[in-house]
Amino acid sequence: MRRKLYLLLGLLLVASMVLAACGSKSSSSSGATSGNAKTVTVTIGFTQSKTGKYNEESTRQSDGLDLWIKQVNDKGGIKLGDGTVVKFKTVSYDDESSGDKVQQLYTRLITQDKADFLISPYSSGLTASAAIISEQYGKIMMATGAASDSIFSKGYERVYQLYTPASHYLTGAVDLLKSLDPNVKKVAFVYENSKFSTAVVKAAKEYAAQQGYNVVMFEGYDKGTTDFGAFINKIQDSGAEAVMGGGHFQDGSTLARQLYEKKLDIKYLALLVAPPDPSFGDLGDAALGVVGPSQWEASANYSPESAKAAGLTWFGPTSADFVKAYKAAYNEDPDYHSAGGYAAGLVLQKAIEDAGSIDAAKVKAALDKMDILTFFGHIKFNTTDAHGLQIGHSMIYIQWQKKDGKLVKEVVWPKEGATAAPLYPLKH
């Protein structure tokens, strides 16, 4: 019996190795000449969190990127000035949402899979690990899903950030509260003890204090917290009228649900990351009135016209076109992670077109000069003290509201982009 099992185990191992050996021969970027036009296939490498805590956000992000690749390739690729046609393909691995393997996998992407350009992993922590490898090999890395400011003051020259950095994430939520109710003075910050959320709330706390708010509570919870009872009691004791904070999707939606279940008497709730996600609406009434900063929303009104008005170059599809294509491909609404993934490809495409080459140095020069408006917003990079930091893009604030008995996301801030009047105060 035991011998048979060993045999089976051995056979399984052998079979798997043989199968893998057959499958792994198709990598490395290739150039093919057909007629006069030369076609070059550019490999884009990244790690995706297929398992672990970042799974949801990371999957949407790579879905967005895949859609961009499919669209570019279906259109016949990018045609450069010298007649070369550039097409794209991706290679990706699972980083398990943990840092253990990120450097190893990025080395693999660069040395073995011959990736020409890189996209960052999801989250600032993993991006910081990957940046060393990309910088060391002189590869350009588009950082999407990584909003931390700190990576960009560490001397990296080839990492480019798509997102509005963390220091500007919740400042708009403070402005919104001020415009809604000047009488509210007591604010509580409850946030996930992670690189990203802490950076956000620290900046927001400073901003709130400047605006005359009294920060009555400033407390972090551990990653993976599922019971916020103690925090909710503390919020109640502090007498806070507004609560801001959160972290990632899981904890943010749990916090919102438990605040609702405990019927906490607060007037305003703004959370990171979770509210803009379409599945946040599944919380039902607990989602009603919750405000969240979003890097992008489908209803955001960036258009070729607004580009002209702002004196910027417009590039890529409109939001409506992007949403339509995304829905057709994945049968769900895109959120900002999806848009960020798509935008990472789009900005890279613009840089390659501007450079007229896939040479890393020329593409880098084009990225440094970039100043465009896309469906994702304004894109411009810092090229001085914090190279690669995003300085063009700005946040949008959404709120879950009820329309004809159905929960919908409405843009409530900034005023010029608003699709509905804010719901205030929160009714728990």
Partner 1 sequence: MSEKLRQHASLWLSLAVVLIIGLWPIATGDALDRETAFTVLSAIALASSLNILLGYTGYVSFGHVVFFGFGGYVGFYTINALGWSLWLALLAGGLSAGLLAYLLGVGILRLRGAYFALATIGINEAVRAFINNFRPFGGPTGMTLNFSVYKAYGGAMHALELVFYIMVALTLLVTLISYWVRTSKFGLGLLAIREDEDAAEVMGVVTPVAKNWAFVLSAIVPGMVGALYFFKNGTIEPGLAFPLHTSIEMIVMIMLGGQGTVLGPIVGAGGYEMLRDYLLVSPLFKNLQLAISGVLLLLIVLFIPRGLVGWLRQRYAKVRRWLI
**Residues at the interface with partner 1 (CB under 8 A):** 2, 5-6, 9, 16-17, 19-20, 23-24, 50-51, 93-94, 96, 98-101, 103-105, 107-108, 110-112, 125, 128-129, 131-132, 135-136, 150-151, 154-156, 192-195, 197-199, 220, 222-223
Least separation in angstroms between residue 411's CB and partner 1 is 30
* Nearer residue to partner 1 within complex by CB, 46 or 260: 46
Q: What does the alpha-carbon distance between residue 286 and residue 280 come to, in Å, rounded to a whole number?
A: 9
* Nearer residue to partner 1 within complex by CB, 378 or 387: 387
**Structure tokens that stand for 297 in this block:** 């929303």
Work out whether the CA dihedral 6, 8, 11, 13 comes out positive or negative.
negative
Opening angle at CA 230, ends 229 and 232, nearest 5: 65
Bridging pattern class, strands 85-94 and 37-48: parallel
Single-letter amino acid code for the residue at 363? V
* Nearer residue to partner 1 within complex by CB, 52 or 304: 52
Q: What does the alpha-carbon distance between residue 371 and residue 350 come to, in Å, rounded to a whole number?
A: 11
Q: What does the alpha-carbon distance between residue 148 and residue 137 come to, in Å, rounded to a whole number?
A: 23
Q: Residue 51 contacts by C-beta under 8 Å, 6 or more apart in sequence?
A: 94, 96, 97
Task: Kindly state the greatest CA–CA separation across the chain.
Answer: 78
Least separation in angstroms between residue 151's CB and partner 1 is 6
Least separation in angstroms between residue 153's CB and partner 1 is 8
Phi, psi angles (nearest 5°) of residue 187: -120, 135
How many other C-beta atoms lie within 10 A of the C-beta of residue 35?
Answer: 6
Least separation in angstroms between residue 77's CB and partner 1 is 24
Least separation in angstroms between residue 138's CB and partner 1 is 10
Least separation in angstroms between residue 6's CB and partner 1 is 7
Q: What does the alpha-carbon distance between residue 200 and residue 163 come to, in Å, rounded to a whole number?
A: 13
Q: Residue 233 contacts by C-beta under 8 Å, 6 or more apart in sequence?
A: none
Least separation in angstroms between residue 395's CB and partner 1 is 20
* Nearer residue to partner 1 within complex by CB, 125 or 341: 125
Least separation in angstroms between residue 292's CB and partner 1 is 21
Cβ atoms of residues 373 and 313 within 8 Å: yes
Could you tell me which of 407, 368, 375 has the C-alpha nearest to residue 389? Answer: 368
* Nearer residue to partner 1 within complex by CB, 51 or 210: 51
* Nearer residue to partner 1 within complex by CB, 159 or 240: 159
Least separation in angstroms between residue 243's CB and partner 1 is 19
Q: 248: buried, middle or exposed (CB in 10 Å: 19+, 13-18, 0-12)?
A: buried
Name 219's bridge partners.
Answer: 190
* Nearer residue to partner 1 within complex by CB, 42 or 131: 131
Q: What does the alpha-carbon distance between residue 379 and residue 367 come to, in Å, rounded to a whole number?
A: 10
Least separation in angstroms between residue 32's CB and partner 1 is 22
* Nearer residue to partner 1 within complex by CB, 158 or 350: 158
Could you tell me which of 114, 160, 107 has the C-alpha nearest to residue 130? Answer: 107
* Nearer residue to partner 1 within complex by CB, 57 or 96: 96
* Nearer residue to partner 1 within complex by CB, 19 or 309: 19
**Structure tokens that stand for 383 in this block:** 């090229």
Least separation in angstroms between residue 215's CB and partner 1 is 17
Cβ atoms of residues 45 and 109 within 8 Å: yes
Q: 56: buried, middle or exposed (CB in 10 Å: 19+, 13-18, 0-12)?
A: middle
* Nearer residue to partner 1 within complex by CB, 105 or 259: 105
